[in-house]
Amino acid sequence: MFDSLSDRLNGALKGLRGKGRLTDADIDATCREIRLALLEADVALPVVREFIKQIKVRAKGAEVHGALNPAQQVIKIVNEELVGILGGETRRLSLAKNPPTVIMLAGLQGSGKTTLAGKLAKYLKAQGHAPMLVACDLQRPGAVTQLQIVGEKAGVNVFAPHPGTSIGGGANPLGITASDPVNVARDGVAEARTKQYDVVIVDTAGRLGIDEELMEQAANIRDAVQPDETLFVLDAMVGQDAVSTANAFAEGVGFTGVVLTKLDGDARGGAALSVREVTGRPIMFASTGEKLEDFDVFHPDRMASRILGMGDLLSLIEQAEQVFDAQEAEATAQKIGSGELTLEDFLDQLMAIRKMGPIANLMGMLPGAGQMKDALDQVDEKQLDRIQAIIRGMTPAERANPKIINASRRLRIANGSGVKVSDVNQLVDRFFEARKMMSAMAGRMGLPGSQRRRT
Ligand code: GDP
């Protein structure tokens, strides 16, 4: 799914890594590559234009955040804009106050409506709903039977126009003629109300292309059943046509949400990504295969980070931002440079890192961390717990000036924090060593505060 787009975007952003400062020329060059990547993936031109414009403005603006390096800042901006294009917030189904909720499916033939009907039914059933399917695709030969098979797989009833053919006893008492999908839809909803189904999913006919008759029929069904949600089903593999098809359905029938299907294909798929921006309607579900379970709620944020293909680097960036306090970091750097770091500071740092989650998880979020599994397994959370307990067992004076921690204090701390005296000794010794080393390093790197020591 979006593999080549991912590769191209990654390539574009890779050039920024390791740069301490980004010039406008760096940003322009990166934006050119991002633009090409999007166009090549079939993302609609106006969408690409707006996207690039936003990235440029934001990346060149003063959105400097101390926790992130310039490359991370651009990645963050690209990610946020991508989430925006994909709709921002996850949009859930809105259910009717007075059941049944009516969900109508519309789209071209072969887009995956019938399959989706089964997927949605299964999904809703798992959430405790009692869904019913209504077969209004009376055009395509075998469509009714296909819906019945899908209904059976999902374990839900199907209201179908041919007497005696509905699954699980959902009879069709009216003997409706096969030529009247509008009546089938209306009667299906009436049946659902009588039999206390709380969601009705209406499968409608599609055509190979857009035509007036198709739109009229869909609009008539819509008027007859007054759907709470009309979902436009879009095959992500159709390429550039996706946008014009979406526009035609938006005009002809109107819809409240989009379902992207066949995202498992290797097509470029970018056109489908433009559909939210072009129609203003949210993408609500994604379908990724022929089986009923190949289906999920569409989360713009997850999809964006998947497209960016950066593992969970993005959540790492987010977490780093949350715990980062620029002033505090500056003060700590000063202390490191001047060799004045205290155990209190050390504890603060440890807590800040641990706030971001267990160390192993944190490292697991970095791309490529899979190969470091052995190393990750050795990160000893218990050891960190012990360090934290020991420092907590010290008085503020001891934390501020570890030099005063003599033998009797060590014994008291050990007893108070439930460790051995040797553990306390080890921590204090290591702390002094680390402080000396860090200060020397800071001096070599010319970090703030280190001047004072050298003069
Ligand atoms: P309809 O004409 O809109 O009702 O489309 P169908 O539900 O009959 O789907 C058309 C074809 O696409 C069928 O062969 C489905 O199995 C297949 N299909 C539907 N959704 C997906 C999907 O997400 N991935 C893949 N690979 N195939 C799908």
What's the helix, strand, coil split of the chain in %, to 5? 60, 10, 35
Residue 239 CA to residue 271 CA, distance in Å, equals: 6
Q: Contact 206/137 with Cβ under 8 angstroms? A: yes
Give 233 Cα–ligand 1 centroid separation in angstroms.
10
- Ligand 1, pocket residues at CB < 6 Å: 107, 109-115, 206, 261-262, 264, 287-290, 294
Give the ipTM of the model, two decimals please: 0.99
pLDDT in tens, the chain (455 residues): 788 888 888 888 888 877 777 888 989 999 999 999 999 888 999 999 999 999 999 988 755 566 677 777 888 899 899 999 999 999 999 999 999 999 999 999 999 999 999 999 999 999 999 999 999 988 888 899 999 999 999 999 999 875 444 333 344 444 444 458 999 999 999 999 999 999 999 999 888 777 888 899 999 999 999 999 999 999 988 888 889 999 999 999 999 999 999 988 766 778 888 999 999 999 999 999 999 999 999 999 888 888 887 655 555 666 666 665 666 667 777 777 787 888 888 887 777 666 666 655 555 555 544 444 455 555 667 777 888 889 989 998 999 888 999 999 999 999 988 899 999 998 898 888 878 877 777 676 665 555 444 33
Torsion of CA 100, 105, 106, 111, to 10 degrees: 180
Q: Where are the domains of the chain?
A: 3-88, 101-298, 325-454
Under CATH, domain 325-454 is a member of which superfamily?
Signal recognition particle, SRP54 subunit, M-domain (1.10.260.30)
Yes or no: is domain 101-298 CATH 3.40.50.300?
Answer: yes
Ligand 1, atom 10: nearest CA belongs to which residue? 110
**Ramachandran region, residue 175 (left: φ > 0; alpha: ψ -120 to 50; beta: rest):** left
Give 223 Cα–ligand 1 centroid separation in angstroms.
26
Reported pTM? 0.70
Q: How many CA atoms lie within 13 A of 453 on its CB side?
A: 20
Locus of tokens 């990160």 = 379
Atom nearest to 150 CA in ligand 1: 7
Under CATH, domain 3-88 is a member of which superfamily?
SRP54, nucleotide-binding domain (1.20.120.140)
Residue 441 CA to residue 419 CA, distance in Å, equals: 32
Give 279 Cα–ligand 1 centroid separation in angstroms.
23
Supply 265's token pair: 């294909």
Residue 236 CA to residue 57 CA, distance in Å, equals: 30
Burial label for 140, CB within 10 Å (0-12, 13-18, 19+), is: middle
Which amino acid is located at 240 in the chain?
Q
